[in-house]
Amino acid sequence: MRVSRSLVITLLTLLSMAGFAVPASAATGKYVALGDSYSSGLGAGSYGTSGSCKRSSNAYPQLWANSHSPSAFSFVACSGARTGDVLANQIGAVTADTALVTISIGGNDAGFASVMTDCNFGSDSTCVQRNQEAQNYARTQLPPKLDQVYSQIRTRAPNARVLVVGYPRMYKVPGYCYAGLSETKRSAINQSADVLADVTRGRAAARGFTFVDGRTAFAGHEICASGTRWINSWAWPVEESYHPNVAGQSGGYYAAVRAVTG
């Protein structure tokens, strides 16, 4: 028997009103994509009219919306965003009827963009020191900032499924690059990715959110990996450096998110 879409929606609504939890993957309700450049799709091109936010039609939130046809889609992730920017400019998109939220945030708070610049133009010791500073910030100052963001998401959307999407490791170490940054620098940068993942995973778990590990999603496709690289190395425009490319948004992030949501 063929069941109409309107009947399915009605039944899901009645179940929700009766107190039964309806999975976001089944309800295909409103989807809100929050976060920074890793969610907006900087590095993957095709930014349309999104201006400095660099929202790409190749970004994983747009790919998920295209394939799942949510009842509403708010793509408000913006390149350069920090936790404070999410609270000031993005969180308003999250409403009580939101079924799914994805978010990547925290890297800009910890200053990893400037870390990458310093590692490209500084010595090994400078790069290691800058990574240690960023790691210390991530451990000591980032957690309460993440808590504020996650708390607001839950308050505004009590029944939403929330996926906290982590950052990948930049490099395969040891790898197949014979120029560019030293192995010392690459290892220090990867260590920062690990610290940020540990901190983010912990705060997400404390709120009951699902952590999507970017390191696992991009494994074997980092810079210097032998396989197809899903992360830009030094690129032009410069702002697209060290961000997922089209293949990374699709094969890395979108595939990982879909593995969770169905």
What CA–CA distance (Å, rounded) separates 179 from 24? 46
By residue count, the chain amounts to 262
Chain centroid to CA 91: how far? 15
Sign of CA dihedral 94, 96, 97, 101: positive
Three-state secondary structure call for residue 17: helix
Joined together, the tokens standing for residue 203 give 């705060």
Cα distances from 91 to residues 16, 95, 96, 203, in angstroms, run 24, 9, 12, 18
Could you list the active site residues? Answer: 37, 243
Continuous segment of H or E residues that includes residue 235: none
DSSP 63-115: HHHHHH--S-EEE---TT--HHHIIIIIGGG--TTEEEEEEE-STTTTTHHHH
